[in-house]
Chains A and B, each alone.
Chain A
């Protein structure tokens, strides 16, 4: 296994269009996270899954955003009616519980979204 993968790596879309990103976590990692990173800032938490259940969502995740992890493996993040403010790097990470409950997150390369 080579790590967390994300597709596409880059996406350019026009305002108002819908986009969908995919994340494939490391095999057997039961937790999957989505973050957004804007230029010059650190990643901001959006949501996370444990297996197929979406357990937590940030206030940053507006109604236009939806995330799924249908079989507890890969996940998709969809943005409807994109706005220019959605332009950012969208990062995915995965983790697996270790002894003591510590979850080390492994990040993917990200999908860079540009909304024109």
Chain B
């Protein structure tokens, strides 16, 4: 079974600085999707960035980028120029590429604090 591990329960960053959140996963599949979701306090979860495992190029969305290391099964999220609005729980998630498999596996999350 696939598992997702986020080893950093909490992280903090100074406003305008850069922070990297770690995620590792375990799978025997070769094709899959990886995601980072953001869950602000008392607000709904939103997708930050996604990566298809068959793509070698790391995904980037504005200030958010990933470092995808397939062989190491590592998928870290880098947030550049951190803003106060980035404060939230961040969840790393895995989903199989198989059409009928919709079992999204989430890590336990990392709480990010942004200091002004």
Tell yes or no: A56 within 8 A of B by CB. Answer: yes
From A13-21, A68-76, A97-105, give the one contacting chain B.
A97-105
**With A40-B108, A41-B108, A41-B109 as contacts: A33 and B102 at CB distance below 8 Å:** yes
Closest to A112 in B: B42
Interface size on A, residues (CB 8 A): 26
| Binary CB contact string for chain B from 63 to 95 against chain A (1 if under 8 A, 0 otherwise) | 000000000000000000000000000010100
What would 10 more interface pairs be, CB under 8 Å, given A55-B102, A58-B103, A103-B102?
Answer: A31-B102, A33-B102, A35-B104, A42-B4, A44-B106, A45-B103, A48-B102, A56-B103, A102-B50, A107-B44
For this complex, 25 residue pairs linking A to B, each with C-beta atoms less than 8 Å apart, are: A3-B44, A31-B102, A35-B104, A40-B108, A40-B109, A41-B108, A41-B109, A42-B109, A43-B104, A44-B106, A45-B102, A48-B102, A55-B100, A56-B100, A56-B101, A56-B102, A56-B103, A91-B45, A104-B47, A104-B50, A105-B104, A107-B46, A109-B43, A109-B44, A110-B44
